[in-house]
């Protein structure tokens, strides 16, 4: 049961994070590019994206989970279990990722971007060959933080029958007073976050060529 | 026959911010000929960095235009401007290399932009690294290089696309004098070898003197003076030019002493070459900071401020010497801070 729980937790976390990056990464890029002083400044687009991200960011995850039940049902056919948790997790993570990506890309030295422009690079080249590559360490570090947060959210979804370790902890530890099972799940959750953190940091350090 | 390659025509640039408007450039007109090494010099904040950025339209002028060869940049589409930029390379004070790429891949970057094949780019990059003397560093990352080496990589990257013009924005300002000299030598070599027109933005007169054939002086957004370097140096006309030339001339025989005296000549003391005799007597130079003649009550009075040598014993002897000749030396404050 616990092994299955670990599997479910990992599936929820990874699948929603990946899907959320498909939304959040372009969103984050768009925020940086359209911002004042960006490559293609556009006040209106920036403001709209900014507001959308802020609104979704400010809804507490547990509320969001319930709020989007119709959408979840439409997308995956059910609102509980691993599959039912992925849409709300994705929706919660995407704007968070957008902000993370935005802050990583903002760290890229403006001089390097100017140099690329002076060589005749177009906006796409600058985004993909300069900004993302130069910011890769920061992007990886932030992805690690995102994974940890999504993992935490996935456990929260246990409260409404979301599957995974959080679900086990609530059902056995809370409803049945089986403290031992709850402790095991807590230890496992801590371990998972630790492992992700170590791997993330290691990759980030390995690919960073700024201080070798 | 000299052929113009860059024509700056009536360029003005105004920056509008929330609470004020800054006129960075005011009606600049300048022609730069093919093969020149053209210096644009000015104090910081004079607008020279903005001016160089109008040459590749990184800054679009508010008024006026820039013509590169026959292309009027203000009439081109963005895509066409990007095309022009591949022929107008630029290097920077901060080097602006890609920190996550090796030296070789940094040089390849400018060629990736123009769509050169990877193999071709690598061959050309290696060739250029040889030109700038860094062939052994191709696998290194920028963080492993010194400032001078980074600028060499930037130069190689700039040259990779065979540009006709190389813009240098304070390219040596972050480097020590020896490295500056070697980078300037390299630029000179490039100019001679490939015939690339070089525009050098700097606040250092020594850079202009070292390498430039022509110079333009920018002062508070205005073109104060321009011409051949020797002309501007020997006969500076504008205030800004005089200031810059004066600064460099004074720094050549630099005197450390800060004690100054003022002496006044009257008609009876001007027959003897007092100062020259004093210098010969004590075998130590004095610096004439100011010399002036005034008509006081129909009698010509000469006034002079002298900077004395650092040695205090000699200072006292000199003051005594001048007193002996009836020149009444008075202590004067150090005027040059």
Find the closest chain A residue to B99 by CA distance.
A210
Say if CB B128 and CB B93 are below 8 A apart. no
Residues whose CB is less than 8 angstroms from the CB of residue B301 and which lie 6 or more positions away in sequence, other chains included: B264, B265, B266, B293, B294, B295
Our CA-based measurement puts residue B294 at a distance from the nearest CA of chain A, in whole angstroms, of 55
> Which of A128, A98, A93, A91 lies closest to A35 in space, CA to CA?
A98
Which of A21-35, A65-79, A123-137, B55-69 shows the lowest mean pLDDT across its residues? A65-79
Helix/strand/coil (H/E/C) assignment for every residue in A5-73:
HHHHHHHHHHHHHHHHHHHHHHHHHHHHHHCCCCCCCCHHHHHHHHHHHHHHHHCCHHHHHHHCHHHHH
The string of pLDDT tens digits covering residues B125-146 is 999 999 999 999 999 999 999 9
The string of pLDDT tens digits covering residues B184-228 is 999 999 999 999 999 999 998 889 988 999 999 999 999 999 999
Instruction: Give me the mean pLDDT over the A186-196 stretch.
Output: 92
CA angle B10, B213, B56 (to 5 degrees): 40
Largest CA distance in chain A: 67
Burial B168-195, CB ≥16 within 10 A → b, else e: bbbbbbbbeeebbbbbbebbeebbeeee
Rounded Cα–Cα distance for residues B167 and B6 (Å): 11
Nearest 10 degrees: Cα torsion B131, B133, B134, B135: 70
Cα–Cα separations (whole angstroms), residue A30 to A23, A108, B172: 11, 15, 36
Answer whether A111 sits within 8 Å of B92, measured CB to CB: yes
pLDDT on residue B296:
64
Interface residue ranges in chain A relative to chain B, Cβ cutoff 8 Å: 109, 111-112, 114-122, 125, 129-130, 133-134, 136, 207-212
The string of pLDDT tens digits covering residues B68-118 is 999 999 999 999 999 999 999 999 999 999 999 999 999 999 999 999 999
Answer whether A119 sits within 8 Å of B86, measured CB to CB: yes
A177 vs A126, more confident: A126
The string of pLDDT tens digits covering residues B264-320 is 776 655 557 788 888 888 888 888 877 777 666 666 667 788 888 888 888 888 888
Rounded Cα–Cα distance for residues B179 and B126 (Å): 22
pLDDT on residue B257:
73
Instruction: Give me the mean pLDDT over the A72-94 stretch.
Output: 90
The string of pLDDT tens digits covering residues A159-190 is 777 888 888 888 888 888 888 988 998 899 99
> Which of B263, B247, B167, B237 lies closest to B203 in space, CA to CA?
B247
Among A114, A129, A210, whose Cβ lies nearest the Cβ of B96?
Answer: A114
pLDDT on residue B269:
57
pLDDT on residue B316:
87
- Asked whether the predicted pLDDT for residue B334 surpasses 80, the reply is no
* Contact residues on chain B for A122, CB-CB shorter than 8 A: 82
A-to-B residue pairs, Cβ atoms closer than 8 angstroms: 77
Our CA-based measurement puts residue A133 at a distance from the nearest CA of chain B, in whole angstroms, of 7
Domain ranges in chain A are 2-207
The string of pLDDT tens digits covering residues B26-35 is 999 999 999 9
pLDDT-based confidence at residue B252 (cuts at 50, 70, 90): very low
* Contact residues on chain A for B142, CB-CB shorter than 8 A: 209
* Contact residues on chain B for A121, CB-CB shorter than 8 A: 82, 113
The CATH T-level fold of domain B260-332 is: Alpha-Beta Plaits (3.30.70)
Give, to the nearest 10 degrees, the angle between helix A2-34 and helix A136-156: 130
Find the closest chain B residue to A130 by CA distance.
B98
Rounded Cα–Cα distance for residues B213 and B208 (Å): 8
Highest mean pLDDT among A79-88, A198-207, B284-293: A198-207
Say if CB A62 and CB A84 are below 8 A apart. no
* Contact residues on chain A for B173, CB-CB shorter than 8 A: none
The residues pairing with B307 across neighbouring beta strands, listed in sequence order, are B260, B287
Answer whether A136 sits within 8 Å of B100, measured CB to CB: yes
Please state which architecture CATH assigns to domain B4-87+163-251.
Answer: 3-Layer(aba) Sandwich (3.40)
* Contact residues on chain B for A210, CB-CB shorter than 8 A: 99-100, 141, 143
Our CA-based measurement puts residue A167 at a distance from the nearest CA of chain B, in whole angstroms, of 43
The string of pLDDT tens digits covering residues A59-69 is 999 899 889 99
B268 vs B121, more confident: B121
The 8-class DSSP code of residue A159 comes to: G
pLDDT-based confidence at residue B251 (cuts at 50, 70, 90): very low
- Asked whether the predicted pLDDT for residue B243 surpasses 90, the reply is no
pLDDT on residue A62:
87
Which of A13-22, A62-71, B247-256, B307-316 shows the lowest mean pLDDT across its residues? B247-256
Domain ranges in chain B are 4-87+163-251, 260-332
The string of pLDDT tens digits covering residues A86-114 is 999 999 999 999 999 999 999 999 999 99
The string of pLDDT tens digits covering residues B150-165 is 999 999 999 999 999 9
For domain A2-207, is the CATH number 1.10.3720.10?
A: yes
Instruction: Give me the mean pLDDT over the A55-61 stretch.
Output: 91
């Amino acid at each position: 049961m616990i092994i299955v729980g670990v599997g479910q937790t990992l599936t929820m976390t990874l699948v929603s994070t990946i899907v959320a990056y498909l939304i959040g990464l372009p969103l984050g890029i768009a925020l940086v590019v359209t911002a004042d002083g960006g490559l293609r400044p556009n006040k209106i687009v920036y403001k709209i994206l900014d507001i959308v991200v802020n609104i979704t960011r400010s809804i507490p995850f547990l509320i969001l989970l319930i709020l989007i039940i119709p959408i979840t049902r439409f997308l995956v056919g059910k609102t509980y279990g691993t599959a039912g948790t992925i849409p709300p997790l994705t929706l919660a993570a995407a704007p968070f990722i957008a902000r993370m990506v935005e802050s990583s890309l903002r760290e890229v030295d403006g001089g390097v971007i100017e140099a690329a422009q002076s060589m005749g690079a177009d906006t796409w080249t600058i985004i993909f060959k300069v900004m993302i590559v130069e910011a890769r360490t920061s992007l990886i570090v932030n992805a690690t933080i995102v994974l940890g947060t999504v993992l935490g959210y996935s456990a929260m979804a246990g409260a409404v029958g979301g599957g995974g370790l959080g679900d086990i902890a609530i059902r056995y530890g809370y409803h049945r007073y089986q403290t031992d099972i709850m402790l095991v799940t807590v230890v496992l959750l801590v371990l998972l976050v630790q492992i992700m953190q170590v791997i993330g940091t290691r990759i980030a350090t390995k690919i960073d060529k700024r201080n070798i | 026959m000299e052929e113009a390659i860059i024509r700056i025509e009536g360029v003005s640039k105004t920056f509008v911010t929330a609470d004020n408007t800054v006129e960075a450039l005011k009606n600049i007109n300048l022609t730069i000929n093919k093969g020149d090494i053209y210096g644009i010099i000015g104090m910081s904040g004079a607008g020279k960095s903005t001016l160089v950025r109008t040459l590749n339209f990184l800054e679009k002028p508010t008024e006026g235009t820039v013509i590169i060869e026959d292309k009027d940049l203000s009439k081109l589409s963005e895509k066409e401007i990007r095309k022009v930029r591949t022929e107008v390379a630029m290097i920077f004070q901060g080097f602006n290399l890609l920190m996550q790429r090796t030296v070789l891949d940094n040089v390849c970057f400018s060629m990736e932009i123009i769509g050169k094949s990877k193999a071709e780019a690598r061959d050309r990059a290696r060739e250029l690294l040889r030109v700038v003397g860094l062939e052994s560093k191709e696998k290194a990352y920028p963080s492993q290089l010194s400032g001078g080496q980074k600028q060499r990589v930037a130069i190689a990257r700039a040259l990779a696309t065979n540009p006709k013009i190389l813009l240098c924005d304070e390219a040596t300002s972050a480097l020590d004098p020896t490295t500056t000299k070697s980078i300037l030598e390299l630029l000179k070599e490039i100019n001679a070898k490939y015939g690339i027109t070089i525009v050098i933005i700097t606040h250092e007169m020594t850079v202009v003197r070292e390498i430039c054939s022509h110079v333009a002086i920018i002062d508070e957004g205005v073109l104060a003076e321009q011409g051949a370097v020797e002309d501007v140096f020997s006969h500076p006309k504008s205030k800004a030019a005089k200031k810059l030339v004066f600064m460099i001339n004074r720094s050549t025989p630099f005197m450390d002493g800060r004690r100054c005296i003022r002496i006044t000549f009257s008609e009876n003391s001007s027959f003897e070459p007092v100062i020259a005799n004093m210098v010969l007597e004590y075998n130590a130079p004095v610096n004439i900071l100011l010399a002036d003649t005034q008509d006081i009550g129909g009698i010509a009075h000469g006034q002079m401020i002298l900077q004395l040598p650092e040695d205090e014993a000699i200072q006292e002897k000199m003051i005594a010497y001048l007193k002996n000749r009836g020149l009444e030396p008075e202590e004067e404050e150090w005027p040059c801070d």
